[in-house]
Amino acid sequence: MAIILASQSPRRRELLGQMGISDFIIRPAQGEEKAAPGLSPAQLVEALSLQKGVEVAASAAPGDLVISADTVVAVDGRVLGKPHSREEAAAMLASLSGRTHTVYTGVTVCRDGDVLTEHEATAVRFRSLTPGEIAAYVATGEPMDKAGAYGIQGYGALLVEGIEGDYCNVVGLPVCRLGRMLARFGVDVLALCAQKEQMP
């Protein structure tokens, strides 16, 4: 059985490694992401992660296990994806300044036609940011490939006063939830980690 990560996100690769899953194939979905209008943020990330997982699973070998995910930031009922420009990144950060928003990640696990999709939600509180601080953070380039225009695992940690929920979810992959999902497919991640530690 091969484990396939349907994502090119370096953060998700790192988080899988932290789980003890080091032997996996990276095969990002290539199709255009589409979701029905009017979905809640939770429904949206589940729908998009499902699309990615099903697409990649269609070309997987029998027995292969596919993991896919999608993350968005939501504030005031508005979904913030990845910014398309520095100006958009600055506007996103200004809308999050001094407030609490929610990070949603949808996760899908597929194998041999069996599909499981769930989501995780984490509340993140930003401190108040000055226009100069926003400009300086945008100038680092870090916001440009991240939902909500910040990365909590990088310089963006300087913006975050606190979180309620799964930190890994804010990075892009809810490790605890994924571990429980994999167990339902017969993959005991902790047992695999123990086996690796006992190998000579």
Task: Give the catalytic positions in this structure.
Answer: 70
**CA distances, 171 to each of 112, 147, 193 (Å):** 29, 10, 22
Cα separation, 180 vs 113, in Å, equals: 19
Distance in Å from the first CA to the final CA of the chain: 23
Cα separation, 177 vs 71, in Å, equals: 14
CB burial of residue 92 (10 Å; 0-12, 13-18, 19+): buried
- From the list 74, 56, 75, the residue with the least C-alpha distance to 66 is 56
